[in-house]
Structure 1
Amino acid sequence: MDIVILGLSLASSWGNGHATTFRALIKGLAAEGHRVLFLEREVPWYAGDNRDLPDPDFCELVFYHSLDEVEQRHGDRLRAADAVIVGSYVPEGADLIDRLAKMDLKRLCFYDIDTPVTMDLLDQGEEAHLARRQVPVFDMYFSFSGGRVLDRLSERYGARAPRALFCSVDESRYSRVDVPMKWDMGYLGTYSDDRQPGLEALMLEPARRLPHMKFVVAGAQYPEGIDWPDNVERIEHLPPSEHAAFYSAQRFTLNITRVAMRRLGWSPSVRLFEAAAVGTPILSDRWQGLSELLPEGKAIVIADGTEDAVAALTGEDGTAPEALAAEARRIVLADHTGRARARDLVRMLHDCPERESLSEEEETA
């Protein structure tokens, strides 16, 4: 298939989880023999030193500066593509979608890598990236969240064909690295107000209670004033090229989920799959659907508070971290690689009939 994706970023992983998600998926598509053009809006915060994949070898990456440029420079390619997929949080996304909807495209789809957050924004009337009226426009609405989220997309927002398309991992980049063990637990994630209480309960307070252990938090945009315990190391930004070594140097890695995603469930982050592929035991907050993806007590430790985290770190809960990590790795390498996800996407696109061609008057209206 010939696919065009207009996403937040492929070239820069700074401060976002979209880039690694797109990279695994598109690399999987290339391995399956498909062709992808990724169109990325040129913005200063994803440029310069923050651009860690400026020239991918698995797809064509082109930057654009305006929506007019998208139509004028890439219109023919968009019309010829088997599918055009818009990602969540694309700059001027709502205006972009309106323009694409008027073009004679074969399939117009949306890939929401933030679905519960998107729905909260729509409920609040915030429509810069996606307008509520646009949800029914898409031939397929791919969501990184599954479960009842899909029912809500259909019943409340009018999505015609909502489908789960979870994040995935590029297993060729995420495998065990022979590095010294440095930390008892680590966390990788950009700062978020609604994740911070989880970080406090599941890492910072355990760090205070276990001063002989070592912890690390890697991620950007953490504000001044956070009370970091002395045994918690901070890394401002960790590029994807260093993720596998980072996970390999931890006894446990921590997964924390945003409130909107935890409330609706079935929202596995890419960090879960990355850590599992590396073979690092995972400790996570609880949400519906997690134990169906990674069985609790067999492939993951699910902690409801500080006491559970301390028990796992000290071994008082009786779990065998190595066995947990091995089972999680087996599951992820079987079902959640970029190539597996690419097959999911292509199968769903083949099930979606092409649009009827617009008349010249409709296309220019």
Structure 2
Amino acid sequence: MTAKVTMAMFGSSLVSAYWNGAATYYRGMIRALNECGFDVTFYEPDAFERQQHRDMADPPWAKVVVYPATQQGLHAALEQAREADIIVKASGVGVFDEELEAEVPRLRRASNLTVFWDVDAPATLQRMRADSADPFHSQVRNYDLVLTYGGGPPVVQAYVNFGARRCVPIYNALDPTTHHPVPAESRFSGALGFLGNRLPDREARVHEFFLKPASLLPQQTFLMGGSGWESNVALTPNINYVGHVYTRDHNAFNCSTLAVLNINRDSMAQVGYSPPTRVFEAAGAGACLVCDAWEGLEQFLEPGKEVLRVANGEEVAAVLPQLTEQQARRIGERARRRLLNEHTYQHRAQQVSALLVEQLASRARPARYHEERHRAAL
């Protein structure tokens, strides 16, 4: 790529992981795309106290524009973004999502691309199935491309059925500059750690895969991080709840327990092929990962060798007493090597770069043809 490709991306937040599980994905993808020659401006609303809970300064590999969460602020940001080569609307911005879904395709020109980047495809598709009047039914076909951060063949087929021109999964991955092994810290010690915000379609699975084994193993210490679990949740005395864990502490959190538990949300577990950021954060730090079962897991980590797959809380409670520190270290190191070899954001960015550059070139050819015909007629 000889010249920088400009990208304007509307998402929840790049600089704050507060109530924002997509932050790791955004950061890894955009940093790697910058290294592939993309000049990215990330537009995020000043909402949900995210700016008050920043966990990083504006990075050198992207420009961050924080716009007021108002109609005026939104339209000023859209106007600023209109000249970009690629204009991206990510799902789950949290403010004016419906308007952004409609307005971004209207910025389409003969030589640019508009992209819907779905960081929660199962939820978006579930929303569309449940409401035939959802405006996105008519808007999805106006995007040049749909990218998803998971979902595999079922999500691709569903998007095609809803009229998407093209849908390509771009899975979560590891950014080894951010998530890597560090010394253990006593404040995060325990047999099993779980990190995740309290969300309606995750809560039942947290009760099954984390709270139940904690109750079955009262002599073991369980570590729980994430927002929203401080009220109206019956935590047993052996659960150490540490609240919101800033990204600067994620490596220590993942390296300080014997094992780390991943719990997918209901929709992602049902669809499969949707490894969340926590899988790559934990395994990238060399943690022994205990993962709830979902289709497609072996595409990323080999069960029994690189990850311990469990079907319910009883299996979690059965695994922990038999797991030695040596076994845990060996599983974690195998997983880390697998991700470094096959599943980093550099791997993903090369895929995205090739896809977007090819799409841009195919759009530019007819545009140049019409321009040349127009000049010849003068």
| TM-score for the superposition, normalised by structure 1 | 0.90
Q: 1:127 to 1:93 in 2, by over 3 A?
A: farther
* Aligned with residue 363 of structure 2, among 351, 354, 360: 354
Query: Quick check: 1:284–1:301 contact (8 Å CA) kept in 2?
Result: yes
Name 1:26's counterpart in structure 2. Answer: 30
* Secondary structure at the counterpart of residue 243 of structure 1: helix
Once the two structures are TM-superposed, the CA of residue 19 in structure 1 deviates from its matched residue by 1.4
Once the two structures are TM-superposed, the CA of residue 101 in structure 1 deviates from its matched residue by 1.9
2:167 & 2:176 partners in 1: Cα distance?
Answer: 27
1:57 & 1:175 partners in 2: Cα distance?
Answer: 21
Once the two structures are TM-superposed, the CA of residue 69 in structure 1 deviates from its matched residue by 4.4
The 5 Å alignment of 1:140-159 reads 140-145=145-150, 146-155=152-161, 157-159=162-164
* Secondary structure at the counterpart of residue 200 of structure 2: coil
Name 2:56's counterpart in structure 1. Answer: 53
* Aligned with residue 237 of structure 2, among 219, 230, 233: 230
Name 2:249's counterpart in structure 1. Answer: 242
What per-residue deviation string (whole Å, max 9, x for no partner) do you get for residues 216-243 of structure 1? 1101122622110111011210111110
Structure 1 residues not aligned, in runs of 5+: 360-365
Give the stretch that moved more between structures: 158-167 or 100-109: 100-109
1:221 & 1:76 partners in 2: Cα distance?
Answer: 36
Q: Does 1:324 align with 2:327?
A: no
* Aligned with residue 142 of structure 2, among 137, 159, 162: 137
Amino acid at match of 1:83: I
Amino acid at match of 1:35: D
2:91 & 2:76 partners in 1: Cα distance?
Answer: 23
Amino acid at match of 2:89: V
Name 2:227's counterpart in structure 1. Answer: 220
Query: Quick check: 1:168–1:337 contact (8 Å CA) kept in 2?
Result: yes
* Aligned with residue 114 of structure 1, among 114, 117, 120: 120
Give the stretch that moved more between structures: 269-278 or 64-73: 64-73
Query: Quick check: 1:285–1:303 contact (8 Å CA) kept in 2?
Result: yes
* Secondary structure at the counterpart of residue 82 of structure 2: helix
1:67 & 1:97 partners in 2: Cα distance?
Answer: 14
The 5 Å alignment of 1:265-280 reads 265-280=272-287
Structure 2 residues not aligned, in runs of 5+: 371-378
Name 1:125's counterpart in structure 2. Answer: 131
1:220 & 1:126 partners in 2: Cα distance?
Answer: 33
Give the stretch that moved more between structures: 339-348 or 270-279: 339-348
Q: Does 1:88 align with 2:106?
A: no
* Aligned with residue 206 of structure 2, among 196, 199, 212: 199
Amino acid at match of 1:58: W
Q: 1:89 to 1:76 in 2, by over 3 A?
A: closer
Name 2:9's counterpart in structure 1. Answer: 5
Give the stretch that moved more between structures: 193-202 or 240-249: 193-202
Amino acid at match of 1:61: V
| TM-score for the superposition, normalised by structure 2 | 0.87
1:223 & 1:236 partners in 2: Cα distance?
Answer: 7
* Secondary structure at the counterpart of residue 142 of structure 1: strand
Once the two structures are TM-superposed, the CA of residue 70 in structure 1 deviates from its matched residue by 5.0
2:71 & 2:39 partners in 1: Cα distance?
Answer: 23
Name 2:310's counterpart in structure 1. Answer: 303
Once the two structures are TM-superposed, the CA of residue 34 in structure 1 deviates from its matched residue by 2.1
1:19 & 1:306 partners in 2: Cα distance?
Answer: 28
Once the two structures are TM-superposed, the CA of residue 126 in structure 1 deviates from its matched residue by 9.0
1:303 & 1:45 partners in 2: Cα distance?
Answer: 36
Q: Which has the higher helix share?
A: 2
Give the root-mean-square deviation of aligned CA atoms. 2.4
1:67 & 1:329 partners in 2: Cα distance?
Answer: 44
Name 1:363's counterpart in structure 2. Answer: none
* Aligned with residue 336 of structure 1, among 318, 321, 343: 343
* Secondary structure at the counterpart of residue 187 of structure 1: strand
Once the two structures are TM-superposed, the CA of residue 94 in structure 1 deviates from its matched residue by 2.3
Q: 1:51 to 1:127 in 2, by over 3 A?
A: farther
Query: Quick check: 2:147–2:167 contact (8 Å CA) kept in 1?
Result: yes
2:158 & 2:78 partners in 1: Cα distance?
Answer: 34
1:241 & 1:127 partners in 2: Cα distance?
Answer: 42
Name 2:374's counterpart in structure 1. Answer: none
What per-residue deviation string (whole Å, max 9, x for no partner) do you get for residues 40-86 of structure 1? 112142122x122242222100112245545546636532x221111
* Secondary structure at the counterpart of residue 153 of structure 1: helix
1:316 & 1:47 partners in 2: Cα distance?
Answer: 41
1:92 & 1:126 partners in 2: Cα distance?
Answer: 20
* Secondary structure at the counterpart of residue 141 of structure 1: strand
* Aligned with residue 313 of structure 1, among 320, 328, 348: 320
Q: 1:127 to 1:297 in 2, by over 3 A?
A: farther
Q: 1:89 to 1:73 in 2, by over 3 A?
A: closer
